[in-house]
Amino acid sequence: MLLLVALGVSLAQWQQRRGDEKLARAARLEAGNQAAPLALSAAPLLPADAQAIEYRRVTVTGHFVPAWTVYLDNRPYKGQAGFHVLTPFQIDGSAMHVLVAQGWLPRNNAERTRIPDFATPAGTVTIAGIARLNAGHVMELGTAPALAPQAIVQNADIAQLAQASGLALQPFLLEQTADPDNPVDPAATAPASSQLPVRDWPAPDLGADKHRGYAFQWYALALMAFLFFVFTGFRRANKQP
């Protein structure tokens, strides 16, 4: 009984902590949406600095490095298989880069490794996006292939990409949203044979209420174990002569 009660209470408290973390993340997301965009400089950030600006709107000026674009596989969008496009972006006047998630592209069902033609801006541009600590992670079986230019991979860690490419990368990425200095619809200037990546990014999975529900279930299990012990103890005591 003591083991069951201790286990139930411990797991309930763990779920409560998870729920509190989700609530804190929701608060950061709301604060990031309300705050003015942060202009990203070339000064290297520490991981703690990256955590502080997660979910902030960020603008940065520089140019894309399309040679080191990689594609994250198994990223469906509205039921259709596809890729997320990750491209380093060199910050203007420096050797520092930030990894940019340009958007989603559909996968060719007949030829899985064929990437659709898409438009990546050339030259110096200013882009905007939402700071995220990573590009998300999907289940991966076996040994992950080495990161290489134009590789199709399941997951891509920023530190691993920096090591493979030799590029200095900030410890976070930008989910690109819009170009604040270019009000012209980019589709109007894109080549007819290319398409724009879809930038309809999913909202972070918060789900604090789910963890609260799990916590309630574990507390209930602990209470039931305790009551079962008490009731059976009384019954045994009453049966004794």
The stretch 4-28 carries a mean pLDDT of 71
β-partners of residue 100 are 87, 174
Task: Report percent pLDDT > 90 for the chain.
Answer: 37
Question: Which pLDDT belongs to residue 190?
Answer: 43
Q: What is the C-alpha to C-alpha distance for residues 54 and 173, in angstroms, rounded to an integer? A: 9
pLDDT at 104 over 90: yes
Q: Which range has the top average pLDDT, 87-91, 141-145, 215-219? A: 87-91
Task: Provide the angle, in degrees to the nearest 10, between the axes of the packed helices 208-239 and 2-34.
Answer: 160
Who has greater pLDDT, 34 or 42?
Answer: 42
Q: Is 38 exposed, middle or buried (0-12, 13-18, 19+ CB in 10 A)?
A: middle
The stretch 92-120 carries a mean pLDDT of 90
Q: What is the C-alpha to C-alpha distance for residues 117 and 192, in angstroms, rounded to an integer? A: 10
Which pLDDT band holds residue 51 (cuts at 50, 70, 90)? Answer: confident
pLDDT at 96 over 90: yes
Q: Which range has the top average pLDDT, 24-38, 86-100, 204-218, 223-237? A: 86-100
Question: Which pLDDT belongs to residue 201?
Answer: 83
Q: What is the C-alpha to C-alpha distance for residues 44 and 16, in angstroms, rounded to an integer? A: 35
Question: Which pLDDT belongs to residue 173?
Answer: 94
For residue 80 the two structure tokens come to: 């259709």
Which pLDDT band holds residue 45 (cuts at 50, 70, 90)? Answer: very high
The stretch 136-159 carries a mean pLDDT of 85
The stretch 81-86 carries a mean pLDDT of 94
Question: Which pLDDT belongs to residue 71?
Answer: 95
Lowest mean pLDDT among 13-22, 190-199, 215-224: 190-199
